[in-house]
Amino acid sequence: MSRRPTANLTESDPPATADLDTIKSLLPYLWPKGQFEMRARVVVAIACLVLAKAASVYVPILYKEAVDLISGDKFDFTVLLWIIVAYGMTRLGQQAFAQLREFFFARVAQRAIRAVAIKTFRHLHRLSLRFHLDRQTGGLTRVIERGTKAIEFLLNFMLFNILPTLFEIFLVCGVLWWMFDFRYAIATFGTIFSYITFTMLVTEWRLKIRRRMNTMDNRANTRAVDSLLNYETVKYFGNETHEEERYDRSMRSYEDAAVKSRTSLSLVNVGQGGIIAVGLMVVMALAGGDIATGKATVGDFVMVNTYLIQLYMPLNFLGFVYREIKQSLTDMQQMFLLLDEEAEIEDAADAKDLVVEKGAVRFDNVKFGYSAERGILKGISFDVPAGKTVALVGPSGAGKSTISRLLFRFYDIDDGAILIDGQDIRSVTQESLRRAIGIVPQDTVLFNDTIYYNIAYGRPDASTAEIEEAARLARIHDFVVSLPDGYESTVGERGLKLSGGEKQRVAIARTLLKQPKIFLFDEATSALDSQTEKAIQNSLSEVSQDYTTLVIAHRLSTVVDAHEIIVLRDGEIAERGNHDLLLSQDGIYAAMWRQQMRESSEDQQAIEKLDVAEVNA
């Protein structure tokens, strides 16, 4: 049995993925297939970009012409006015085209972010239960959050800042070479090359600090979320101080990394400023020398100075953008690990929808283990005939809940087959399989939404009347309508505002609303009192009558009417038969029955004594 290990997305540094490959992965979102409007927007935005940069380069030339006209012998105010108007219109055009670029590209950027977010969300739901059991929710959500923000940054700055800035730099170098000589172009290009090289080298060093910060941030956030989700447990054991100390240790490590990152930024800024200063001195000295020899005019000196000042801001911004892009690539690489994570359970290429006519379930010599070293089921074979009820009982760890997960195909078995109406569940689509089965799990988890939403989750298109009828069958309707907000009452995160029994009844109503062909009750009434349990058992028996039903139970009193009871022990079937037959065999089941009856009798006697004591008091 070969299984792909799950990557620890919250603790490890991102892999050494080439930055170029990461950037290439964004191109389909910039040029989405089959979306003419988005592609047209990109083309128009790029055209606006080119026009904006052309105007930007032409502005200093007009400035030069104005200065030469003013300082020359043939001053003409009318000509100056035309130059000033052209100068103003060109600057206006520069701003206008830049804003039009943003106008046309905004939709492209947000559509790309939406597409990546949906793809990641969909992929997470495709991943196996094994992955989601191993994950740490707090760190995972931070990875996704930082990854989507990084995509937004890259889409905007790679296309409309890095590339345009480089285009403008080469354009300016060309203009300087054409209007003066190669020395100006070489001096300008040398300054830029030195600036970029220095920025890249120092940024690579600083990225190691950034990755350390991310790791510490993930760890602190994961511990905070885990502690708050287990708020009651923390209170039970009085471990608030312990939790604070664990959180503080992570935050202290983050603090050290953040301080080092901030102080190292000063080195980057000083180095970049020094390179620009040297470049300014060299180019302006060249221009001054040419003026002294008569090769250049005052307007030329002003134009060169204007170009350098104009390039200074993009160059300074380029340093910031490069650092942010490298940091964004670091964040994106972790998110791409999620998209690279292979789904353990996949539909077969020729998978068809499950066709359920009678709903007969068969486990045929099923063997399964969560790992090669941990075998759970050791050749289990049993049938759940159509319209009948079969119960699985046995001690903890016997493999009862594993059977329910295998029936839903959260895992694939190692050997044997699981069949529904003769169809191997590995040959049908997962969606159709899970649509046919309704489960009431032992550990009920509700969405942080209203009671109405949580019940309607079983069948979102159900009517209000159908939802309320399901609630009545689950004996929860009267309780819900007694609440101030009725069905619009929120249940809190993971249903914490409801008691265990109330949560379980909401889960039962949700499954009843689904109207599945096969019912699976996994300790469905374990959190209920005896009176409510009996009422709901009657409802479940009524609703599941003539439906195939598999019951996983610890409380044997809930399965005495099952057509067959299967006793599991150490992953094997130890006994099987109906209630009376198993009692007559005086084996494992009979021993479990006597033990539970004795415990029930002792509990009842304790309650009676308590009632007497209260009366006497």
Domain-wise residue ranges, the chain = 19-340, 361-614
- What are the phi and psi torsion angles at 439 (to 5°)? -125, 140
Lowest mean pLDDT among 30-44, 148-162, 527-541: 527-541
- β-partners of residue 415 are 367
* Residue 440 phi, psi dihedral angles, 5° rounding: -115, 105
Three-state DSSP class for 445? coil
pLDDT at 15 over 90: no
Class for domain 361-614, per CATH? Answer: alpha beta
What letter would DSSP give residue 316? Answer: H
pLDDT at 224: 86
Hey, CA dihedral for 129, 133, 137, 139, is it positive or negative?
negative
Output the pLDDT for position 452. 94
pLDDT interval class at 17 (50, 70, 90): very low
Q: Which residues of 316-328 are buried (b: 16+ CB within 10 A; e: fewer)?
A: eebbebbbbbbbb
Instruction: Tell me the pLDDT tens digit for each residue of 86-137.
Output: 989 998 998 899 899 888 988 888 888 888 878 888 888 788 777 776 665 5
Supply the DSSP string of 240-271, one letter for each residue: HHHHHHHHHHHHHHHHHHHHHHHHHHHHHHHH
Cα angle vertex 176, ends 174, 180, to 5°?
A: 125
Decide if 19-340 and 361-614 have a common fold.
Answer: no
What architecture is domain 19-340?
Up-down Bundle (1.20)
pLDDT in tens, 567-608: 999 889 999 999 999 999 999 999 999 988 887 666 555 555
At 290, which amino acid appears?
D
pLDDT range class, residue 190, cuts 50, 70, 90: confident
Statement: residue 417 has pLDDT above 90 = yes
For residue 191, pLDDT beyond 70: yes
Per the listing, tokens 């077969």 go with 348
Backbone CA torsion sign across 116, 213, 8, 25: positive
